[in-house]
Chain A
């Protein structure tokens, strides 16, 4: 555990499953003194409202230790029992960069679509912009470097590949990932109890359109 400034601790973790489990558990048990619990790719950042001391450090250690003892931190067994959800995301594979990704992978555009749609992805963390989920599980052949020059406007709903990650743009925004398709699903709604459709630990299946 590393202190980050006056108000936060960063907890390194080994996998996205651990991150999702730790995020849920810490959020559920957080008192008023916790401002946020921020899942990263391989870490959790716990931000306090005022500089935390020994009591907060003990609380954090106790939660992480309990998760480890429970075995949950090592392997989150059932997504359903932990409140993680499974989503079916309809995707039409007609993105502007699908031929570029196909050339990079040495396969046809149709094969890229089939391969991309064949995987069940796990939400690792959400970042970059509200509702933008980093999906883990992209087959290695589809790993494609980000564009050297980002687009000034990627359309809302664009399904894209950035390095080892795949993701969906929730709103029209500048972006540097390779666009392979699109979905009509709404990924972010600030008036909802659950503003981001995809949360850390959730599973995503693609339904090819």
Chain B
């Protein structure tokens, strides 16, 4: 039977209306027929289900749209048993927080296209300096996190934060915002640890 993967947990658990495949690690799945829905509501439902599981268990959230046969899931869980269990330990007790940071100047309209190769290179260099500045500015946040990873175009970072330290982390974002009025910061979460789940190909 085809199943949509929600998350992987280290041991069997109780779920409401979902299937559990394997005996440890286990996959939390829902039977599906046909294509999976691609609406924002379907994505939201998927994440909320994973978030609910996370209240009681350490889980690796699955990328949306992973559909496979239950027998295949069982085989993969067995094959990847040790790395999966290790990945679950890495995220146990922690949530993901996203931080978007950019110079407020980024709000100004797009500059005219560069008139020469030299001008282009100068701009690239300036951009790189700004990114380095951002990394340096965000260093206090990285210190509060168990792990950090950059995402998308150098303006978004993901932090793996102990659940108990979430308030402290948000306070640090607020403090950073006060110290650096030239930055625009947006901090979202807490998310399941999507950016720290690992890749088991």
Bind each other: no
Residues on B facing A (Cβ under 8 Å)? none
Residues on A facing B (Cβ under 8 Å)? none
